[in-house]
Copies of this chain bind each other. A is one copy, B any other.
Amino acid sequence: MENLDAKDFEGQDVLSLLDWPREKIEYVFRVAEKMEPTVRSRSRSQLLSDKILAAAFYTPSTRTRCSFESAMLRLGGGVTGWESGASTRARGSDIYTKGKKGESNKDTAIMLEHYADAIAMRHDEEGAAREFAEWAKIPVLNGGDGYGPTSEHPTQALLDLYTIKKEQGRIDGLSILHVGDNQRTRGGHSLNFGLSKFDGVKVYICCPPELKLRPQEYEPLDELGLEYEYVDRIEDVLTEVDVVETSTPLVLEEVRGDYTLTAAKLEDVKDNFIVMHQLPRGDSIDTDIDDTKYAKFFEQAWYGVPIRMALLSLVFGREP
């Protein structure tokens, strides 16, 4: 791991952060850093001008799909794919498939291997990205697979971690508060796996009782040695933590006030405190926070472009 280079990523999938060592994460960060000038200057390079990305999104996405497409375009590459599963033979109803399941993940994956050089995908089935990766001989980047306890969203987690690193200067030793069900979303799963690779990270979880981690979620965290603790109220730890990452819980209607972050609640936070969100924000962050210095969720969305540029170039064994 000491001498990682782009070739170590070549042809690899990005499906889960569970087994990613810290060194891989930090290597992606260094490449993302090199991508930033292209994004900031609003220009395009030719690093992947000979490549085609299939952006295969079966369920609605704006940030993940558009930032993958933007990353590929900024690197000079071409993009095909779909923005809606209903436009495909896997899902679309026509007179041949009406009432039937449509095409298998295997067949679709092999097809995309033939038409593109990498696949970025979102799917409503837990494990679908892994299934695509089993069959397609090109890199598969998981942009969210389903909503189950083992669903992941590793590129989201990498941009979350990169945001923390850029805004805080470090990840080691930080304390992070998950609000709502963020710790049990696909993005939250991957983020916790990523956080576990750093030293001295403490995770607090503030959520309704029914949203506590399920065995498939806390068991790998226990194995990885991530330190986490439930708290009853946001206010219990808000002034102690460095980062809060909120989510829109499904049960929010009933408990809105308790889990919604407002500017008023941020009065005594630490000076380096930041508010993050994978967005869309739903009711979880009041817009009165947007103008505070703590709001970093829009920057977080921006970091998605250099991170995804880094991942795309690395899976082709390239870097600037």
Contacts and interface: CB of A to CB of B under 8 A. Distances in A.
Interface string A279-320: 111100001000000000010011011000000000000000
A100 interface: yes
Contacts of A62: 82, 88-90, 103, 108, 111
A50 interface: yes
B73 A78 contact: yes
Contact of A114 (B83, B104, B301): B301
A81 B66 contact: yes
Q: How large is the interface on A (under 10, 10 to 19, 20 to 34, 35 or more residues)?
A: 35 or more
Contacts of A248: 96
Closest 4 pairs between A and B when the two form their complex, measured CB to CB: A60-B92, A73-B78, A103-B280, A70-B115
Contact of A84 (B70, B87, B298): B87
Task: State how many copies of this chain the complex holds.
Answer: 3
Nearest to A49: B44
A74 B94 CA distance: 29
Interface string A8-33: 00000000000000000000000000
Contact of A86 (B54, B60, B96, B110): B60
A246 interface: no
A66 B116 CA distance: 9
A240 to B, nearest CB: 28
Interface string A232-257: 00000000000000001010000000
A212 interface: no
A52 interface: yes
Interface of A: 42-44, 49-52, 54, 57, 59-63, 66-67, 69-70, 73-74, 78-84, 86-97, 100, 102-104, 106-108, 110-112, 114-117, 124, 147, 248, 250, 279-282, 287, 298, 301-302, 304-305
16 contacts: A42-B50, A44-B50, A59-B92, A60-B97, A62-B111, A67-B114, A69-B80, A69-B115, A70-B115, A73-B80, A83-B84, A84-B87, A89-B280, A90-B280, A96-B250, A114-B301
A89 to B, nearest CB: 5
Contacts of A124: 94
A283 to B, nearest CB: 8
Nearest to A118: B42
